[in-house]
Amino acid sequence: MALNALDRHVALVGFMGAGKSTLGPALAARLGRPFVSVDDVVEKRAGSNVVDLFEARGESVFRALEEEAALDVLARRPLSVIELGGGGLSSATTRALLAESAFTLHLVTTPDEAWERVVASGRPLARDQDAFRGLFEERRALYEAANGSVRDLDGAVLAAAGVHVSAGALDHLGELVPGAGPVELAADEHVESLYGERARIALGARLAGSHSVPAGERAKTATEAAQLWSALRLGRAGTLVALGGGSTIDLGGFVAATYLRGVSWVAAPTTLLAQVDAGIGGKTAIDLAEGKNLVGAFHWPARTVIDPEVLSTLPATEIENGRAEVVKTGLLAGEPLWELETSEQVRRCAAFKAALCLRDPHDRGERVQLNLGHTFAHALEAASGYSLPHGQAVALGLLGALRVSGLEDDARRVEEILHPLPATVDRDAAWAAVVRDKKSDDGRPRLVLLEAPGKPRVGVEVEPQVVRAALDSLIA
């Protein structure tokens, strides 16, 4: 069964009136893909609209034309968002090709909602309400076999990325880890004391091992990776679950990417920072003394399980750390996401990052915008010996990026929201980390800047003295 839409079409299915023709183009725009309506293809080929086709040639002829069009569209490249008609899944041939080449999303509606939307449309199958309801029930099982069920645009993006966000999700971890093979759990030592037992109970009989790793950046070392490699007993059918903050997610994902040349893994982020950023998109890494995240791999999680309820036990300092990534996302999106209630912050930020990562899974283009402020942040962290919390470093990094962007008003707004204090680090050590940053080109810094909120500029080469001055302004 498909786990995400990374290398597949996204197929939207659902009963007539569910809203597929509205959601489909919006989803295609978010994912950077073409939108294709199977009904439109049928109408273009037949030279007639669907209603007239039904009336003149009958449903059986229309279904044959629909199947032919669906097979053609599903065989095409580039990857697209494809809308199938309400009865498209009645074809076994179409269902088989969907399973082979698409990630199928069921857009959920109710019979009453659907009837209200289509009663005046003139559709041949929407003329008698009792028959309409009967058809709804008849097709229900076909839709429920989809890879995911969604109700809105953010939900569709999250499902396409394999991200599950819901209160209480931790207690359903066993159901949410894909497959039927054994599972080993790696939890940071602090989260282990809070949620380790809940996670083990949820995993049930699938649990084959449990491991504790250091909390925070101390986990992201070659030594810790080697210890976890040695402790694992998973075969290739197994799954590693990483439960904890961003550092645990980075370590767990990196270990999974390299153990047995790659095993499946599930990210279960428990901090605000990890839920809105680190747990999504499959970018994993450990640190070197010379810099942050210099050794890593792209390894997309089989699923990311986000339970906003676990944030209730976070210390206020950790919430503030996470808010820095929320503010970063809001600046990139051009929306004040930091003003939302926490669970909605999580969902909106996760959906923003998920869409961006699906568009650019290997960080070769626009995904780099997620590094807004991070060139400065990573340099400050490295110069502090990784004692500076990532969220505090990001808050400072955002100030640096906004100042270099010439957006002083936005920089002041970040100061008002996040209240970052200058870092106490060696200036030369921080500058050396900037020069070595992965995004630098032959020692010349390349930054992510903003033309304005919602309008990022990536790979901007900035005069070293300008970058150095901005960096120095962040240091006590």
d(CA 388, CA 397): 12
d(CA 180, CA 264): 12
**Under CATH, which architecture does the 164-314 domain have?**
3-Layer(aba) Sandwich (3.40)
Residues 93-105 have pLDDT tens digits of: 999 999 999 999 9
Start-end of CATH 3.40.50.1970 domains in the chain:
164-314
Q: Which residues of the chain have pLDDT under 50?
A: none
The answer to whether the beta carbons of residues 106 and 144 sit under 8 Å apart is: yes
Of 14, 302, 325, 6, which is closest to residue 163 (Cα–Cα)?
302
Q: Which amino acid is at 429?
A: A
* Overall size of the chain counted in residues: 476
d(CA 454, CA 26): 17
Pairing relationship of beta strands 283-288 and 291-298 according to DSSP bridges: antiparallel
Q: How far is CA 155 from CA 120, 142, 178, 352, in A?
A: 29, 20, 19, 11
d(CA 407, CA 60): 61
The answer to whether the beta carbons of residues 8 and 2 sit under 8 Å apart is: yes
Of 375, 442, 440, which is closest to residue 403 (Cα–Cα)?
375
Q: How far is CA 89 from CA 28, 86, 98, 381, 443, in A?
A: 21, 8, 9, 52, 55
Start-end of CATH 1.20.1090.10 domains in the chain:
366-472
Residues 318-362 have pLDDT tens digits of: 899 899 999 999 999 999 999 999 999 999 999 999 999 999 999
User: What's the confidence (pLDDT) of residue 122?
Assistant: 79
Q: Which residues contact 96 (CB under 8 A, 6 or more apart)?
A: none
Q: What is the DSSP letter of 295?
A: E
Q: How far is CA 77 from the centre of its chain?
A: 23
User: What's the confidence (pLDDT) of residue 95?
Assistant: 95
HSE of 305, CA atoms in CB hemisphere, 13 A: 25
Asked whether the CA dihedral 450, 456, 457, 462 is positive or negative, the reply is positive
User: What's the confidence (pLDDT) of residue 177?
Assistant: 98
d(CA 380, CA 431): 9
User: What's the confidence (pLDDT) of residue 55?
Assistant: 81
Q: What is the DSSP string of 348-395?
A: HHHHHHHHHHHHSTTSSSGGGGGGTTHHHHHHHHHHTTT-S-HHHHHH
Pairing relationship of beta strands 264-269 and 283-288 according to DSSP bridges: unpaired
Start-end of CATH 3.40.50.300 domains in the chain:
9-153
| Superfamily, domain 9-153 | P-loop containing nucleotide triphosphate hydrolases (3.40.50.300)
d(CA 462, CA 404): 9
Q: How far is CA 40 from the centre of its chain?
A: 30
The answer to whether the beta carbons of residues 140 and 86 sit under 8 Å apart is: no
Token pair in block for residue 172: 């359903």
The answer to whether the beta carbons of residues 411 and 404 sit under 8 Å apart is: no
H or E, element range at 64: helix 59-74
Q: What are phi and psi of 91, to 5 degrees?
A: -90, 120
Residue whose pair of structure tokens reads 């032959």 in the numeric block: 442
Q: How far is CA 362 from the centre of its chain?
A: 13
Residues 289-321 have pLDDT tens digits of: 887 888 999 999 999 999 999 999 999 988 998
Is 285 in a helix, a strand, or coil?
strand
User: What's the confidence (pLDDT) of residue 142?
Assistant: 94
pTM equals 0.94
User: What's the confidence (pLDDT) of residue 443?
Assistant: 65
User: What's the confidence (pLDDT) of residue 223?
Assistant: 97
Residue whose pair of structure tokens reads 């076909």 in the numeric block: 142
Question: Quick one: fold of 366-472?
Answer: Dehydroquinate synthase-like, alpha domain (1.20.1090)
d(CA 340, CA 321): 16
Residue whose pair of structure tokens reads 């003295």 in the numeric block: 465
Asked whether the CA dihedral 104, 77, 353, 202 is positive or negative, the reply is positive
